[in-house]
């Protein structure tokens, strides 16, 4: 019932905002408004105030504002003929029609203002993981460091730090760093990363750091002392000589207290066949291992970080065709040694289908192949299918419960700063929405991504579980979608009425009635077809 309530709230607010735009501007322009309806179909309840009837109808899948004289040939009282919608000059009609979508596009600014305003928690700029061979490691950064400013711009959260590197890459960028209560400045030369989606492309720099301190999950080289002792790739170290090891930082400390023979307890996922399904069952394994003298951390155990080890190879991808398998270790890209999985992602970003040379190591030795990225289709938890260009390999991902929490900080935005942030976010979403609609027309975005009321209900239910910020974000995004779609020049939608009024202002005569009637039939057929596609997609999901 709670999900139904959130769905009704979502739809009710958005429909009311849209129709309120038409209603208020029509009233301001002197047009007589006969009815303000939330929903279509038979009236459930309502009341009349002044000259307008307000009602809630049976089907809450939209709404309408009924204005006097909005249908050609409609008879009006001679004393009120001047208050009819079609009796207004074109510029007034354009304002009234534009008001609905405009309210839908402006309303999210108000939503995001309240989301951003005041205190809220976010991940801090404290570094949890600095892999070797990365730009961050070359700059002398290490776990526990806190980034205070990027190129002089103060940053408070990990997201702000990432955004500060937009357009800053492949050149030294000064960082203000806090370590042990002292601040110093160091230069980092971030790699260029092309953050690409079907709707937008952003070039940003990457230092290759993470906010979370990694769980000690190992990669085991073939023939190593670790393999001879019985360790396997993707084993998770639980303790050393009885000392619990929740993360790599603790691993360093535990090894510093012990040397010589080590008793290592690990958790290993053992595949178990249950009918047609293969399950991963954790089991505890204890091993005896000789510590490698003169080495620290994972190297002291004769193992490597898991980061360059392939955990998953997606079927039907370029990686699968080349013979890459789970447990293989990536070695180099176009002759350059790879240091982390992030490094591979950076090198592949923006490359498209351009071929490259990849070297990897398997149990039977090294392999070298000329590869190219290819389209990969993926389905999210809502059933939406997206297509991206990729190689088809994935690193070992930890579940939410396995990831040690990153340090969080409370950030308080004043009203003016919150309004500024909201005004920045909304145009970006509008641009993405326009690009998505254009992609549907050019077939760059699959028609299967179109959703209807069932999908909206699922999204409302899911966002309500995650909290009010997620729900309000969903409301803002759908409001923008509603505003943009209504501006399309399709008969029945506001965009066509806008075009018709513009036509009349230029040609000095309205579009012929017969042409409007035919256009309305075509427009209705298009909308019905789109709704059928949306319902089909919803049911298929």
DSSP state of 30: T
Residues 6+ apart with CB under 8 A from 288: 229, 261, 262, 263, 264
Task: State the DSSP H helix or E strand holding residue 418, giving kind and residue range, or none if neither.
Answer: helix 415-442
Long-range contacts of 460-468, Cβ-Cβ distance < 8 Å, separation of 24 or more: 460/3, 460/6, 460/7, 460/9, 460/10, 461/3, 461/6, 461/7, 462/381, 462/382, 463/6, 464/2, 464/3, 464/6
Helices 453-466 and 2-28, axial angle in degrees (round to 10): 110
Token representation of residue 276 = 């047609």
CA-to-CA separations, 146 to 128, 149, 162, 191, 205, in angstroms, rounded: 9, 9, 14, 20, 18
Question: What phi and psi, each to the nearest 5 degrees, are found at residue 423?
Answer: -70, -20
| 19 included as an active-site residue | yes
Q: CA 192, CA 517: separation in Å to the nearest integer? A: 54
Run of H or E including 174: strand 173-179
* Torsion sign across C-alpha atoms 292, 294, 300, 302: negative
Closest CA to 154 of 137, 135, 175: 175
User: Which H or E run contains 53?
Assistant: strand 52-67
Distance between CA atoms of residues 377 and 490, nearest Å: 31
143 Cα distance to chain centroid: 27
Return the closest-CA partner of residue 391 out of 337, 309, 322, 327. 322
Structure tokens at 236: 């998770």
What angle do the packed helices 468-486 and 2-28 form, to 10 degrees? 40
Task: For residue 519, count other CB atoms closer than 10 A to its CB.
Answer: 17
CB atoms within 10 A of CB 146: 16
Active-site residues, by number, are: 19
């Amino acid at each position: 019932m709670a999900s139904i309530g959130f769905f009704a709230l979502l739809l009710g607010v958005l429909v009311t905002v849209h129709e309120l735009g038409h209603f208020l501007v029509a009233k301001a322009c002197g047009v007589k408004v006969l009815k303000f309806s939330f929903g279509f179909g038979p009236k459930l309840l309502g009341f009349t105030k002044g000259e307008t009837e307000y009602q809630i109808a049976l089907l809450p899948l939209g709404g309408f504002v009924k204005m006097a004289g909005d249908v050609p040939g409609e008879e009006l009282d001679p004393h009120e003929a001047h208050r009819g919608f079609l009796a207004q000059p074109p510029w007034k009609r354009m304002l009234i029609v534009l008001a609905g979508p405009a309210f839908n596009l402006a309303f999210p600014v108000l939503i995001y203002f309240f989301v951003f305003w005041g205190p809220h928690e976010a991940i801090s700029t404290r570094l949890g993981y600095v892999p070797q061979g990365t730009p961050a490691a070359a700059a002398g950064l290490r776990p526990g460091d806190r980034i205070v400013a990027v190129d002089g711009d103060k940053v408070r959260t990990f997201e702000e730090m990432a955004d500060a590197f937009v357009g800053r890459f492949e050149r030294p960028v000064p960082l203000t760093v806090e370590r042990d209560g002292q601040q110093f400045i160091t230069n980092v030369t971030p790699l260029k990363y092309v953050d690409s989606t079907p709707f937008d492309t952003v070039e940003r720099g990457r230092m290759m750091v993470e906010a979370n301190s990694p769980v000690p999950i190992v990669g085991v080289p073939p023939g190593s002392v670790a393999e001879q002792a019985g360790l396997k790739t993707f084993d998770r170290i639980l303790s050393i000589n009885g000392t619990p090891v929740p993360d790599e930082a603790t691993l360093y400390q535990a090894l510093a207290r012990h040397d010589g023979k080590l008793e290592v307890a690990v958790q290993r996922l053992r595949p178990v066949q249950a009918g047609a399904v293969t399950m991963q069952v954790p089991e505890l394994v204890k091993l005896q291992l000789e510590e490698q003298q003169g080495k620290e951390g994972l190297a002291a155990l004769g193992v490597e970080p898991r980061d360059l080890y392939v955990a998953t190879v997606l079927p039907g991808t370029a990686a699968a065709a080349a013979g890459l398998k789970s447990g293989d270790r990536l070695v180099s890209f176009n002759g350059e040694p790879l240091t982390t999985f992030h490094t591979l992602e950076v090198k592949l970003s923006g490359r498209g289908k351009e071929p490259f040379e990849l070297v990897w190591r398997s149990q039977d030795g090294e392999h070298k192949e000329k590869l190219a990225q290819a389209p990969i289709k993926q389905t999210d938890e809502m059933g939406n299918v997206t297509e991206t260009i990729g190689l088809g390999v994935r690193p070992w991902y930890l579940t939410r419960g396995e990831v040690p929490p990153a340090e969080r900080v409370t950030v308080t935005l004043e009203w003016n700063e919150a309004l500024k942030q909201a005004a920045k976010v909304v145009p970006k979403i509008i641009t993405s929405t326009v690009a998505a609609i254009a992609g549907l027309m050019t077939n760059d975005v699959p028609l299967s991504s179109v959703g209807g009321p069932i999908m909206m209900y699922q999204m409302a239910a899911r966002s309500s579980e995650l909290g009010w910020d997620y729900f309000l974000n969903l409301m803002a995004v759908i409001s923008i979608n509603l505003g943009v779609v209504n501006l399309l020049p399709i008969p029945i939608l506001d965009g066509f009425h806008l075009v018709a009024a513009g036509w009349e202002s230029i040609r000095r005569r309205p579009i012929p009635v017969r042409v409007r009637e035919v256009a309305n039939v075509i427009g209705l057929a298009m909308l019905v077809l789109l709704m059928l596609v949306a319902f089909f997609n919803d049911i298929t999901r």
